[in-house]
Amino acid sequence: MQLFEDFEPEGADAAGAAGEQAPALGGGEYEPVEGRDRQSIECQRACESVAAKKTASDYSHIVWAYGIIWALFCGYGILMWRRAQRLAADVEALRRRIDNGK
């Protein structure tokens, strides 16, 4: 697939006209991040750890929700099974009554 066949990044014409090569992205070389002080990096890490803890605690709520839903489904199934048993007994009693009436 050639979706980006005609795509040229900004500044590519200027670099090409001057005969310079643009740096290759993802060349495997380590480039340190510039412009961020240690305090902002530590603040970001602290925020990320709080977000990770919240996400982990949210998983327990999902498990509880699924558990409650399954318990409700099972309760409803048991209720329907008991009702079917009661109806079957009523039908059997009516059959006996009809047979005894003949």
Residue 22 resides in a domain: no
Residue among 34, 4, 10 nearest 22 (CA): 10
Residue 31 resides in a domain: no
Residue 95 resides in a domain: yes
CA distance 33 to 61: 38
| 52 pLDDT tier (thresholds 50, 70, 90) | confident
Residue among 31, 32, 13 nearest 22 (CA): 13
Please give the tally of structural domains in the chain.
1
| 33 pLDDT tier (thresholds 50, 70, 90) | low
CA distance 84 to 86: 5
Residue 79 resides in a domain: yes
Residue 74 resides in a domain: yes
Residue 88 resides in a domain: yes
Range of the domain at 64: 37-101
Is 50 exceeded by the pLDDT of residue 79?
yes
- DSSP letter at 102 equals -
Please state whether the predicted TM-score (pTM) of the whole model is above 0.85.
no
